[in-house]
Chains A and B, each alone.
Chain A
Amino acid sequence: MSSVNMVRQTIRRTRGLEAKPFWKTLTGQKQLIIMSVPILLYILLFSYVPTLGWVMAFQKFQPAKGFLNSAWVGLDNFKMLFADADFIRDFRNTICMSVINITLSFSSAIVLAILLNELRNIHLKRFVQTISYLPHFLSWVIVSALVVTTLSGDGIINDMLILLGIADEPILWLGKGEYFWGILGITNVWKEVGWNTIIYLAAMSAIDPALYEAAVMDGANRYQKIRYITLPGIKSTFVILLIMNIGWIMQAGFEPQYLLRNGMNIDYSETIELYVLRYGFQQSNFSLATAAGMFQSAINIFMLFVANFIASKVGDERLI
């Protein structure tokens, strides 16, 4: 018994856990502290202090009165939120655009990664990769300008549709709300598909080549190799990325919707972020806007845990 304790003590001492009291270690590491603590204080101020503003969601906040003197209203702001038809509509838009974006971006990235992986010509592969990463680095302002030009009355899409006889006259793509989700989903694929393949290609290059060789010996063809070796090889990467993305389900994006919306598609283009912007800045209803933002964060965190839980039940992959 005592020998066990002695061993434990020795282990602790060699690990340095009991050797020095905490404060002594701290002063001994003065230089490391000088290099890191100012940055810590900076992040506390800019990322953590603003969360105190969440109390506004439970107040009838008036800027003149401040946080301390504004009236407390409990959950009234949240009740108002769910009674607002605009909020329900924006909630629907956010969820729908998110689901469309996740589905399209995951499937397109996996297909492109597999096709790139099957490409034998290494120069063509590099060239396609370089070109397809490019749009990721362009801002949404630039991309939106390109979308507006491409979809305009005399843009390439309308010209081609008329040339092929599919349409008789130019279609006002951004003027019809029903098209908005699709346009956004495709634009998102255009912008991010190349970038999204990077991580899958990295996972594919980690697959043991011996597996492919053995499969060939057993008479597997190209499609069987993809189905039984490549796809299982990227499964864990796929699951982790999916969990992370489901954690951002309420972030349908903000910039493209803001930049591409107009009076005619607003029923389909306004997201919760734009709702926050509208109530917060144009109507100065800080409390309602903060409540909407908080609701959004809460769903995100909830979905992150749900996705993580399901993934850990189904397989052995999990994020947290």
Chain B
Amino acid sequence: MKNAFTRTKINDTIFNFFNGTFMLLLVVVMLYPFLNTVAISFNDGLDAIKGGIYLWPRVFSLQNYKAVFVGGTIFHAFFISVSRTVITTVINLFLTTMLSYTLSRKEFVLRRFITVVFVLTMYFNAGLIPTYMLYKALGLRNNFWVYIIPGMVYAFNMIVTRTYIKTLPESMVESARIDGASEYRIFLQIIFPLCKPILATVALFVAVFAWNQWFDTFIYCSSEQNLSTLQYELMKLLSSAQRANSNPSLVGAVGGANTASMITPISIRAAITVVAALPIIIVYPSLQKYFVVGLAVGSVKE
């Protein structure tokens, strides 16, 4: 009896040791590619071509970041990315909560119909070409609003928010109604402020999605440099690197062209990667406790 007990204990210790080691290894694998890119971004461009940079820059330089922020085009793209993210998030939060409020009212006659229309949009998609033709007809090509208008409400966020509103006590809405408050007032002054935890989740989802988009720039605004986004600039650098990959002679040509400024595709790509990832890395840990709950709520109802 005692023997069995000690054996289990020893087994547990061994298991915990290997489990802990595995977790630390996982953390290294998750972080290394990013830390490596940070090191390259702070390294001199020409020196970086030689390779062999791991976690620390060999020839320290701020040139790459100077190129990102002083260069003009990339800073402008950064500005467009920030604008589209902020505007989309604000509009989304307001419209998603307003719609979710109406759909959480059991007495609302159009409740079922509107819910079904929205939920179906998660399972089908008209396809690239028909969507393109619609946007073109609406004049959204080479237009900043193509970043905002198509993504003002998402069905998934609506369901999560509606589920949350349903958990709020019904008596608050009823007593406000007896006091003569209009639906607008109930929504704006009672429901909206109470939705803060779920709004944090939705804001994170929407903001990250908007910030990470590059395909809409590529399809609808690629001929308008003024509307380029940070992710699209990074994507262009990446695909030129990929072309160079399949045709090694190009590497020298690209590197040579920029010798004067000491900035190479590798180093500028690293700097843009860091700039594009940094806002997310800063914001998301503070919202972690919200989105874990938000995701659980949404999936329970799915």
Closest to B124 in A: A297
Interchain CB contact (< 8 A) of A49 among B12, B110, B125, B134:
B134
Asked if residues B130 and A290 are in contact (CB atoms below 8 Å), the reply is yes
Cβ of A122 under 8 Å from chain B: no
Closest to B274 in A: A142
For B126, the chain A residues whose CB sits under 8 A away are: 47-48, 50-51, 53-54
As a 0/1 sequence over residues 122 to 153 of chain A, the CB contacts with chain B under 8 angstroms (1 = contact) are 00100111111111011111101111111011
Binds B, one of A29-37, A84-92, A310-318: A29-37
Closest to A292 in B: B127
Cβ of A249 under 8 Å from chain B: no
> CA–CA, A47 to B51, complex, Å?
48
Asked if residues B129 and A264 are in contact (CB atoms below 8 Å), the reply is no
In the complex, how many angstroms separate the beta carbon of A150 from the nearest chain B beta carbon? 5
As a 0/1 sequence over residues 27 to 65 of chain A, the CB contacts with chain B under 8 angstroms (1 = contact) are 001011101110110111111111111101000000000
Cβ of B195 under 8 Å from chain A: no
Asked if residues B37 and A149 are in contact (CB atoms below 8 Å), the reply is yes
Interchain CB contact (< 8 A) of B276 among A135, A139, A159:
A139
In the complex, how many angstroms separate the beta carbon of A266 from the nearest chain B beta carbon? 9
In the complex, how many angstroms separate the beta carbon of A69 from the nearest chain B beta carbon? 15
In the complex, how many angstroms separate the beta carbon of B174 from the nearest chain A beta carbon? 15
Asked if residues B273 and A146 are in contact (CB atoms below 8 Å), the reply is yes
> How many of chain B's residues touch chain A, expressed as a range?
35 or more
Asked if residues B29 and A190 are in contact (CB atoms below 8 Å), the reply is yes
> CA–CA, A120 to B295, complex, Å?
24
Cβ of A115 under 8 Å from chain B: yes
For A221, the chain B residues whose CB sits under 8 A away are: 8, 11
Cβ of B19 under 8 Å from chain A: yes
Cβ of A118 under 8 Å from chain B: yes
For A39, the chain B residues whose CB sits under 8 A away are: 95, 98-99, 153
Contact A175:B118 (CB < 8 A) given known A35-B101, A146-B37: no
Contact A304:B123 (CB < 8 A) given known A53-B133, A175-B245: yes
Asked if residues B242 and A261 are in contact (CB atoms below 8 Å), the reply is yes
> CA–CA, A16 to B150, complex, Å?
38
Scoring B118, B211, B212, B302 by chain A CB atoms within 10 A of each residue's CB, the highest score goes to B212
> CA–CA, A134 to B285, complex, Å?
9
Asked if residues B117 and A139 are in contact (CB atoms below 8 Å), the reply is no
Interchain CB contact (< 8 A) of B51 among A29, A46, A153, A260:
A153
Q: Which residues B1-37 have CB closer than 8 A to chain A?
A: 4, 8, 11-12, 15-16, 19-20, 22-23, 26-27, 29-34, 36-37
Asked if residues A128 and B184 are in contact (CB atoms below 8 Å), the reply is no
Closest to B219 in A: A281
Contact A199:B129 (CB < 8 A) given known A25-B109, A175-B246: no
User: How many chain A residues touch the partner (CB < 8 A)?
Assistant: 96
For A22, the chain B residues whose CB sits under 8 A away are: 109
In the complex, how many angstroms separate the beta carbon of B143 from the nearest chain A beta carbon? 15
For A46, the chain B residues whose CB sits under 8 A away are: 134, 149-150
Asked if residues B110 and A33 are in contact (CB atoms below 8 Å), the reply is yes
Closest to B48 in A: A154
In the complex, how many angstroms separate the beta carbon of B34 from the nearest chain A beta carbon? 7
As a 0/1 sequence over residues 185 to 198 of chain B, the CB contacts with chain A under 8 angstroms (1 = contact) are 00100000000000
Asked if residues B102 and A35 are in contact (CB atoms below 8 Å), the reply is yes
Cβ of B214 under 8 Å from chain A: yes
Cβ of B261 under 8 Å from chain A: no
For A145, the chain B residues whose CB sits under 8 A away are: 37, 234, 237-238, 269-270, 273
Asked if residues B214 and A286 are in contact (CB atoms below 8 Å), the reply is no
The binding surface of chain A is classed by DSSP as: helix
> CA–CA, A184 to B123, complex, Å?
24
> CA–CA, A145 to B185, complex, Å?
48
Cβ of A227 under 8 Å from chain B: no
> CA–CA, A112 to B118, complex, Å?
34
In the complex, how many angstroms separate the beta carbon of A141 from the nearest chain B beta carbon? 5
Asked if residues A262 and B235 are in contact (CB atoms below 8 Å), the reply is no
> CA–CA, A115 to B12, complex, Å?
13
Closest to B245 in A: A262
In the complex, how many angstroms separate the beta carbon of B83 from the nearest chain A beta carbon? 17
Interchain CB contact (< 8 A) of A144 among B50, B238, B266, B299:
B238
In the complex, how many angstroms separate the beta carbon of B204 from the nearest chain A beta carbon? 8
Asked if residues B184 and A35 are in contact (CB atoms below 8 Å), the reply is yes
For A35, the chain B residues whose CB sits under 8 A away are: 98-99, 101-102, 183-184, 187
Q: Which residues B155-190 have CB closer than 8 A to chain A?
A: 182-184, 187
> CA–CA, A124 to B34, complex, Å?
21
Cβ of A259 under 8 Å from chain B: yes
> CA–CA, A148 to B231, complex, Å?
16
> CA–CA, A286 to B134, complex, Å?
13
**Other contacts beyond A131-B26, A199-B295: 4, CB < 8 A:** A36-B99, A137-B212, A149-B269, A175-B246
Q: List 7 A-B contacts (CB under 8 A).
A: A35-B183, A36-B98, A46-B134, A119-B19, A135-B30, A142-B234, A263-B246
Interface residues of A (CB under 8 A from B): 16, 22, 25-26, 29, 31-33, 35-37, 39-40, 42-54, 56, 112, 115-116, 118-121, 124, 127-135, 137-142, 144-150, 152-156, 159, 172, 174-175, 190, 194, 198-199, 202, 219, 221-222, 240, 247, 255, 259-264, 273, 276-277, 280-281, 286, 289-290, 293-294, 297, 301, 304
Interface residues of B (CB under 8 A from A): 4, 8, 11-12, 15-16, 19-20, 22-23, 26-27, 29-34, 36-37, 40, 50-52, 54, 95, 98-99, 101-103, 105, 107-110, 114, 117-118, 121, 123-134, 149-150, 152-153, 182-184, 187, 208, 211-215, 219, 231, 234-235, 237-239, 241-243, 245-247, 266, 269-270, 273, 276-277, 280-281, 284-285, 288, 292, 295-296, 299, 302
